């Protein structure tokens, strides 16, 4: 049986009914990884031995009628989530030998519900990038066509789920790092409301924007696991003091009479005709399902990119100051004094994009510039958030493309940082406003998938998943998988 | 937006990142490109808006001040590049006679 063709939900059902064991399911995926991942480089570390121990334990629990809610289902974790006993690199030379002394809350929660970790996935260094080409462990390729990038920064997570080397993977999103790779790899990727998923043990990039989530093959699978990851965590002071949401309850409800907003500022942009056509078709599908389409205006939305490229680097420059070559991580050879130790450790330990962002952030926060840049950006950020608040008074969700086009070729955008930053033009606003966003496949062009994005009001992940599931129950785009 | 050599040197020192002579000018160009992007914010009228502090405007929950972590010194030192007698070792910081 091709176990990887079953949805995650069906895998869980199959385990419950003893149609197969977790050891069989886990071994099946481990074999696929060893057979195929050489082409994609989607894993940094494969935890084969540990996975089989976890799978055996799950099978024991099923045998003794003591099974856990997600028992025995495999998952891949982005290598940004700390895992005790397994190295966590964040895609950087700086942490290439780092073994965290504790596990992230996301890992712990899923582990406690019985999930089996297959390994740690590749990513752009410190989650900075949109093509997964900045990883110290080498670029990741797109399973739809290995000459193309999988997107980033959660490129390894998207690539391995798309190649069906894992049924689902965790990911993180600071400006689009879940939704953009999901779009480029033909997957469903959801970033919840800021504060829904604990950031404890999730290596920090820009703390006011970072949020954990998943890439999956359907909204239904994503709902199941996101629910298991969410919930208040006293170890993260920005974690929302709310119980874990029930994300499967409304999944199958009709969207009849609900309203979808189309932001006119997004649709005024120059879009390739294939993208416009796919989005139009998706809108027609939603109309046929009973949704009402309304034009909305997010008048400050065009400020999003500059706001993001002040706030994210500023916070990154502060967060990454901890990598000093003293307490953990890389240290340069033969430092002649303490200054030399700092300066060369950070020169040699960080890649080009990370250094660019630290320097930009340092500049924006330096004496005399704080008001002009960081403070101004935080004010403009409030303007963007206000636009969303106004829009959600009249609509349930906001629809747009996820990315400006399908995947691009490896190396194509490496010479121009701004060109790469434009990849996230549609996804960044949700991070600025702390809102949940989802990308779902809605078409293809030239053999490569493309996605649409739905953004919801705060805490309305259930509604986003309902819209996504409703679309996926009536279309087949999410079922298309690459031939690998 | 132009960045002077002196400014760039200052930033690289503040960030404690050594930059090799030969990559200085290309780095400067890239940073200038990004800084130019920031100028778009000048057009926005922010005279009547407060800077955002938390997207959901909720107060941050506090917890009781109780010790929850055990002493993990040896565990933590395992990741350090240089350790002696339970201490992090770095090059000499203070000059002067021993």
The pair of three-digit structure tokens given for residue A370, joined into one six-digit string: 């704080």
Nearest partner of A176 among A483, A430, A363, judged by Cα: A430
For B29: left if phi > 0, alpha if psi spans -120 to 50, otherwise beta; the answer is alpha
Let me know if residue B85 belongs to a domain. no
Residue B14 confidence (pLDDT): 97
Q: How confident is the model at residue A363 (pLDDT cuts 50, 70, 90)?
A: very high
Residues of B in contact with A373 (CB under 8 A): 38
Q: What is the span of the domain harbouring residue A403?
A: 1-484
Rounded CA gap, A119 and A107, in Å? Answer: 12
Residue A251 confidence (pLDDT): 95
Average pLDDT over residues A367-382: 93
CATH of the domain at A371: 3.90.1300.10
Q: Where does B15-56 have alpha helices with state H?
A: 24-38
Residue A181 confidence (pLDDT): 98
Contact A64, A156 (CB under 8 A): no
Q: How far is A404 from chain B (nearest CA, A)?
A: 19
DSSP state of A243: P
Q: How far is A131 from chain B (nearest CA, A)?
A: 18
- Give the chain B residue whose CA is nearest to the CA of A300: B44
Q: What is the span of the domain harbouring residue B30?
A: 5-42
Helices A219-229, A105-112: inter-axial angle, 10-degree rounding? 110
For every residue of A364-384, DSSP letters joined together read: HHSTTTTIIIIIHHHHHHHHH
Residues of B in contact with A342 (CB under 8 A): 16
Please indicate whether residue A153 is annotated as part of the active site.
yes
- Whether the CA torsion A360, A365, A371, A377 is positive or negative: it is positive
Let me know if residue B16 belongs to a domain. yes
Residue A1 confidence (pLDDT): 67
Q: How many domains does chain A have?
A: 1
Q: Give the rounded percent of residues in chain A with a pLDDT score beyond 70.
A: 100
Let me know if residue B91 belongs to a domain. no
Residue A477 confidence (pLDDT): 98
Average pLDDT over residues A198-214: 97
For the cut 60, the answer to whether the pLDDT of residue B98 exceeds it is no
The residues near B25 (Cβ < 8 Å, ≥ 6 apart) are none
Q: Which residue has the higher pLDDT, B57 or A438?
A: A438
The number of C-beta contacts closer than 8 angstroms across A and B is: 168
Paired residues of A172 in beta bridges: A212
- Whether the CA torsion A106, A109, A115, A117 is positive or negative: it is positive
Average pLDDT over residues A20-48: 98
Per-residue exposure over B23-61, b if at least 16 CB sit within 10 Å of its own CB, e if not: eeeebbebbeebbebbeebeebebeebeebeebeeeeee
Q: Answer whether B15 touches A (CB < 8 Å).
A: yes
Residue A319 confidence (pLDDT): 98
Residue B93 confidence (pLDDT): 85
The answer to whether the Cβ–Cβ distance between A382 and B51 falls below 8 Å is: yes
Residues of B in contact with A310 (CB under 8 A): 38, 41
DSSP state of A144: T
Q: How confident is the model at residue B57 (pLDDT cuts 50, 70, 90)?
A: low
Residue pLDDT, tens place only, B4-26: 999 999 999 999 999 999 999 99
- How many residues are listed for chain A in this entry? 484
Residue A317 confidence (pLDDT): 98
The answer to whether the Cβ–Cβ distance between A338 and B90 falls below 8 Å is: yes
Q: How many domains does chain B have?
A: 1
- Whether the CA torsion A407, A408, A411, A414 is positive or negative: it is negative
Contact A86, A80 (CB under 8 A): no
Residue A150 confidence (pLDDT): 98
**Angstrom distances, CA of residue A134 to CA of A306, A319, A450:** 22, 19, 23
Residue pLDDT, tens place only, A95-116: 999 999 999 999 999 999 999 9
Residue A90 confidence (pLDDT): 98
Nearest partner of A314 among A355, A358, A354, A350, judged by Cα: A358
DSSP state of B73: H
Residue B97 confidence (pLDDT): 58
Q: Of chain A residues 327-346, which have a CB less than 8 A from chain B? A: 327-331, 335-344, 346
The predicted complex's ipTM stands at 0.94
- How many residues are listed for chain B in this entry? 98
Nearest partner of A139 among A402, A323, A408, A431, judged by Cα: A408
Element (H, E) at A322: none
Rounded CA gap, A480 and A379, in Å? Answer: 43
Half-sphere exposure at residue B33, Cβ-oriented, CA atoms within 13 angstroms: 15
Q: How confident is the model at residue B64 (pLDDT cuts 50, 70, 90)?
A: confident
For every residue of A170-216, DSSP letters joined together read: EEEESSSTTHHHHHHHT-EEEE--TTSB--TTB--SSTTT-EEEEEE
Query: What spatial distance separates the first Cα and last Cα of chain B, rounded to whole Å?
Result: 49
Residue pLDDT, tens place only, A224-280: 999 999 999 999 989 998 888 999 999 999 999 999 999 999 998 889 999 999 999
Contact A133, A411 (CB under 8 A): yes
Half-sphere exposure at residue A455, Cβ-oriented, CA atoms within 13 angstroms: 28
For the cut 70, the answer to whether the pLDDT of residue B96 exceeds it is no
Rounded CA gap, A209 and A191, in Å? Answer: 11
β-pairing verdict for A259-263 and A292-296: parallel
The pair of three-digit structure tokens given for residue B58, joined into one six-digit string: 């909720």
Q: How confident is the model at residue A459 (pLDDT cuts 50, 70, 90)?
A: very high
The residues near B67 (Cβ < 8 Å, ≥ 6 apart) are none
Rounded CA gap, A344 and A335, in Å? Answer: 8
Q: Of chain B residues 31-50, which have a CB less than 8 A from chain A? A: 31, 33-35, 37-41, 44, 46, 49-50
Average pLDDT over residues B36-54: 92
Residue pLDDT, tens place only, A108-164: 999 999 999 999 999 999 999 999 999 999 999 999 999 999 999 999 999 999 999
Q: Answer whether A318 touches B (CB < 8 Å).
A: no
Let me know if residue B13 belongs to a domain. yes
For the cut 80, the answer to whether the pLDDT of residue B92 exceeds it is yes
The residue behind tokens 């079922």 is A479
């Amino acid at each position: 049986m091709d176990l990887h063709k079953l949805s995650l939900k069906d895998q869980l059902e199959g385990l419950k009914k003893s149609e197969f064991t977790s050891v069989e399911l886990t071994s099946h995926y481990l074999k696929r990884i060893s057979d195929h991942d050489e082409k994609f480089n989607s894993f940094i570390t494969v935890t084969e031995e540990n996975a089989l121990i976890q799978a055996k334990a799950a099978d024991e629990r099923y045998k003794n009628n003591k099974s856990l809610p997600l028992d025995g289902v495999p998952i891949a974790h982005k290598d940004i989530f700390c895992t005790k006993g397994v190295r966590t690199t964040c895609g950087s030379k700086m942490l290439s030998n780092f073994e965290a002394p504790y596990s992230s809350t996301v890992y712990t929660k899923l582990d406690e519900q019985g999930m089996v970790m297959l390994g740690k996935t590749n990513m752009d260094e410190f989650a900075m990038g949109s093509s997964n080409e900045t990883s110290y462990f080498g670029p990741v390729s797109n399973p739809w066509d290995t000459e193309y990038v999988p997107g980033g920064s959660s490129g390894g997570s998207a690539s391995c789920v798309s190649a069906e080397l894992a049924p689902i993977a965790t990911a993180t999103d600071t400006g689009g790092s879940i939704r953009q790779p999901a779009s480029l790899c033909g997957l469903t990727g959801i970033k919840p409301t800021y504060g829904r998923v604990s950031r404890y043990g999730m290596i920090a990039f820009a703390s006011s924007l970072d949020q954990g989530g998943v890439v999956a093959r359907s909204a239904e699978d994503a709902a199941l696991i996101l629910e298991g990851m969410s919930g208040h965590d006293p170890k993260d002071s920005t974690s929302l003091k709310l119980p874990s949401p029930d994300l499967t309850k409304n999944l199958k409800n009709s969207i009849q009479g609900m309203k979808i907003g189309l932001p006119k500022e997004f649709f005024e942009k120059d879009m390739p005709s294939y993208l416009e056509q796919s989005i139009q078709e998706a809108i027609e599908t939603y109309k046929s399902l009973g949704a009402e389409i309304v034009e909305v205006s997010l008048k400050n939305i065009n400020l999003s990119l500059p706001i993001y490229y002040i706030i994210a680097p500023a916070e990154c420059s502060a967060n990454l100051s901890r990598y000093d070559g003293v307490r953990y991580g890389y240290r340069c050879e033969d430092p002649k004094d303490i200054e030399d130790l700092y300066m060369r450790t950070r020169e040699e330990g960080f890649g080009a994009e990370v250094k660019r962002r630290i320097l930009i952030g340092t500049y924006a926060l330096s004496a005399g510039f704080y008001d002009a840049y960081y403070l101004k950006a935080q004010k403009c950020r409030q303007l963007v958030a206000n636009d969303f608040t106004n829009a959600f008074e009249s609509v349930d969700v906001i629809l747009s493309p996820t990315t400006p086009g399908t995947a691009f070729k490896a190396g194509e955008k490496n010479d121009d940082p701004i060109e790469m930053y434009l990849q996230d033009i549609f996804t960044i606003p949700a991070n600025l406003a702390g809102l949940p966003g989802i990308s779902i496949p809605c078409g293809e062009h030239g053999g490569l998938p493309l996605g649409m994005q739905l953004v919801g009001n705060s805490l309305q992940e259930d509604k986003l998943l309902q819209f996504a599931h409703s679309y996926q129950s009536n279309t087949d785009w999410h079922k298309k998988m690459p031939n690998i | 937006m132009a960045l002077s050599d002196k400014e760039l040197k200052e930033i690289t020192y503040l960030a404690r990142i050594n930059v090799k002579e030969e990559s200085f000018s290309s780095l400067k160009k890239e940073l200038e490109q990004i800084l130019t992007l920031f100028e778009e914010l000048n057009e926005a009228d922010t005279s009547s808006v407060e800077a955002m502090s938390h997207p959901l405007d909720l107060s941050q929950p506090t917890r009781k001040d109780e010790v929850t972590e055990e002493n993990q010194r040896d565990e933590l030192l395992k990741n350090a590049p240089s350790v002696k007698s339970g201490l992090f070792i770095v090059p000499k910081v203070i000059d002067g006679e021993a």
